[in-house]
Structure 1
């Protein structure tokens, strides 16, 4: 028998050893190669997911104008993948050696990943909602491509008793008729596994297609769910009230027109704006040197004049504050333009006209008056946009605003008048003789009218401007002091308005589907104990609203002692206050879909907007979770991504 390496015996020995070593078997080698391919594919997909997550969180575009291999800029998505690959050797290897059918960078893959993110976010919202009743906040707006989009937001109290307002969907609608909106809303709720019968509130603006008593959206939803009570957006109500009040006093109405003209004239060119900033900086430095201004971090910052917007009353307040702060710098710029012979005749004429208006006692007086009025109403404007505000607390804020306006009317004249005179002296503005007869050049002269100048400004302007604000607030918000809201306000045990009979009537009349007769009896028994307990409990007695009260009784465990009271509180704080969250969705939509991205599909727009707005929820999902539910269609069998 031969003993050479090539002998039959040695060959047989080697075959036997190979047979015993399973790692060298063909099936094991194939498994090892398959496993590596799967891991490489998962790493490529994870890279694409991470790149998309960052771009969606920042509302950045994905695709570029030229995504070819020799392009110097392949768009944000592919350039982000390149960046990630440059910092990781493994990522670089799998990206560079990716098969042509498994790069995971196509537009189809991007849409699929975005839809998975959106689906996870919606699932998370539904889990947080649980079995709670909810309200819907709806508004519509046209996007950059002139398509009408409708935003749907859910408002509810979560398991901890905290008010949540979550953006649920953005849907393209053919028109804004009430029937179209109603069918679309119901379709959105059904698609997301929500029951229409669980709606306990509707929040819209005051358009006729929304609030119509017979064929409006609120009426059609009420036919589907009789307990979906409609609340006209309080922030929108306030906007309408304040705008209407300003138009009733022609001096105030003219003031806002003049203020816009002045701001537009000063901001007409970058040169004027730069000159305004230079003058403002010089003025601040001079006042600091004279000790008229305090110094400190963040103080005395240089800004620009703000334009007043048509749909946001707060923007009027910002415009007035900026004009008051930069009054001297504005005067200097207007004088410079009016005296500049190199400027056009129209520019010099506009600057001269604006300067003439600006340097009048009438303009300065109303400037200071509106600054004081709007300092009060601006707080209400901002409060009504808070997500955590409940309906009872919102109405309290309205009442407080009316009280403060009344105090300004009674006690604010002397301080205002002294401030106006000091301001006029500082800026060399002529102060009229207050005791002389006032002549209104806009009206025909009346020989028997002995109105003095001071009477005009105090009675005809100061008093009337404030009175109109209060009148409009009463008119606009009186419709909301209905039986429902009056009964809701009786729930706070810390106030004298707490009434057991009113609370029982609230449940019996407005929430019969949420309480059985036995539960209503139990609620009646719980109320006296609840009032005493919450009034004396150290962690609850300092709660400032029904929303805080609900959180407090859940946190302290009192919800188990008063389950019926807690249920009623949850229903009340679910009632919508404003549609600010829905409007914020449109702000996000306009960031996602811009003029350069006007061809973005509705589905992709909805997914990206949802992830961008609810990024706090989307950030909870790891890339591996997205991979595990990623459906690659025909490629699934080849790469076995799900079976890893």
Structure 2
């Protein structure tokens, strides 16, 4: 764990903000209590009075910011004047983690920018990747590799559902990445940062209404170029019971494959994004 202190130096009529990196601290776990105990012990060993603390700032992760057990709360219990400021520029990362935890669980939880780069590489080179896999399948002598590429090209990967998913994720990750980089620029002022976040939230609210149809159109263009069926894999219609407030009868509501994908995948991702952005930047 890295520990940094910032303080004011008073000299005649001048006030200078000083900031020092104090070092790295060994931690056995990342729970809030453990991090707090280690930080408190280090500050005491340096002769720094907790009662003189006027601020604390962390990356806004749950172990630092959680209401009752986070480092923030434990310092405030000792010194209520230790004003907490979250490192909001890390919040786009946490927003993506909120989304990924329910849909892309295998991806890295820290180096989140690698996600946009990975999706970007596939999205912008889908046809090339497809053709490369086909060539491997046709020319490779290794039975295991041929079996793997056959599975990828015929069943598991390159179907219309995958194309639509790739288009959607690229759009979401790309916009998040742009704003994240802008927020970290050295000349970014607080009011501009707030404006940029609000603009991003408005974008996703608009994208919620129009993004799915646009993704379908773009995915169909890619599918035509790749010679893939421009429909979702054929499965039985999805059915659900109507809610009580929808009808007094127990009538069955049927979803087409397009409607099911929009409701349970596209809207799920976008709504999670909007909700998380609102919560984490509140």
Give the TM bin, normalised by the shorter chain: 0.7 to 0.9
Select the residue among 108, 111, 136 that pairs with 1:312: 111
> C-alpha offsets along residues 150-175 of structure 1, whole Å, 9 cap, x if unaligned?
x123467999xxx9895512133465
The alpha-carbon distance between structure 1 residues 439 and 226, as it changes in their structure 2 partners (threshold 3 A), is: same
1:525-564 alignment, distance < 5 Å: none
Please give the alpha-carbon distance, in whole angstroms, between the structure 1 residues aligned to 2:274 and 2:236: 28
Query: Residues 112-151 of structure 1: matches in 2 within 5 Å?
Result: 140=1, 151=2
Change (3 A) 1:398 1:155: farther
Tell me if 1:330 matches 2:129. Answer: yes
- In 1: Cα distance, 2:193 partner to 2:8 partner: 17
Alignment match, 1:169: 22
Q: Matches of 1:451 and 1:165 in 2, distance apart?
A: 61
Q: Which residue of 2 aligns with 1:221?
A: 75
Alignment match of 2:267 (pick from 463, 467, 480) = 463
Between Structure 1 and Structure 2, how many residues are aligned? 262
Equivalent position SS for 2:266: helix
* Per-residue deviation, 1:387: 5.2
Q: Tell me which of 148, 156, 160 is aligned to 1:361.
A: 160
Task: Quote how far apart the aligned CAs of 1:470 are.
Answer: 0.9
Query: What are the residue-to-residue correspondences of 1:172-211 with 2, within 5 Å?
Result: 172-173=25-26, 175=28, 177=34, 178-188=36-46, 190=48, 197=52, 199-208=54-63, 210-211=64-65
Q: Which residue of 1 aligns with 2:205?
A: 406
Task: Give the aligned partner of residue 247 of structure 2.
Answer: none
Between 397-406 and 461-470, report the one with greater CA deviation: 461-470
Q: Aligned partners of 1:467 and 1:168: how far apart in 2? A: 39
Do the aligned partners of 1:320 and 1:367 also contact (CA within 8 Å) in 2? yes
Q: Is the 8 A contact 1:182 1:220 kept in 2?
A: no
State whether residues 50 and 79 of structure 2, in contact with CA within 8 Å, keep that contact through their aligned partners in structure 1: no
Superposition TM-score, scaled by structure 2 size: 0.73
Q: Which has the higher contact order (CA 8 A, sep 6+)?
A: 1
Shift of 1:398: 2.6
> 5+ unaligned residues in a row in structure 1: which ranges?
1-139, 141-150, 261-307, 482-644
Q: Is the 8 A contact 1:179 1:220 kept in 2?
A: no
- Structure number, greater radius of gyration: 1
**Secondary structure of the structure 2 residue equivalent to 1:450:** strand
The answer as to whether partners of 2:240 and 2:254 remain within 8 angstroms in 1 is no
Q: Deviations over 1:447-501 (max 9, x none)?
A: 9453223323444433333122112223x32xx63xxxxxxxxxxxxxxxxxxxx
- For the 8 Å contact 1:189–1:195, the answer to whether it is kept is no
Partner of residue 473, structure 1:
277
Quote the residue 2:97 is aligned against.
243
For residue 364 of structure 1, report the CA deviation from its aligned partner. Answer: 0.3
Q: Distance in 2 between matches of 1:455 and 1:417?
A: 12
1:153 equivalent in alignment to 2:11: no
Question: Cα distance 1:243–1:218, how it changes in 2: closer, same or farther (>3 A)?
Answer: closer
Question: 3-state SS of the aligned residue for 1:311?
Answer: coil
Q: State TM-score, norm by structure 1.
A: 0.35
8 Å contact kept, 2:239–2:255: no
- Equivalent positions of 1:264-279 (< 5 A) are none
Give the unaligned 5+ runs of structure 2: 11-15, 242-250
Structure 2 residue aligned with 1:349, among 144, 147, 160? 147
Structure 2 counterparts to residues 516-531 of structure 1, below 5 A: none
Work out the CA distance in 2 between the residues paired with 1:310 and 1:173: 21
- Taking the aligned partners of 2:70 and 2:258, their CA distance within structure 1 comes to 49
Structure 1 residues 464, 221: closer, same or farther in 2, change over 3 A? closer
Counterparts of residues 279-294 of structure 1 (less than 5 Å): none
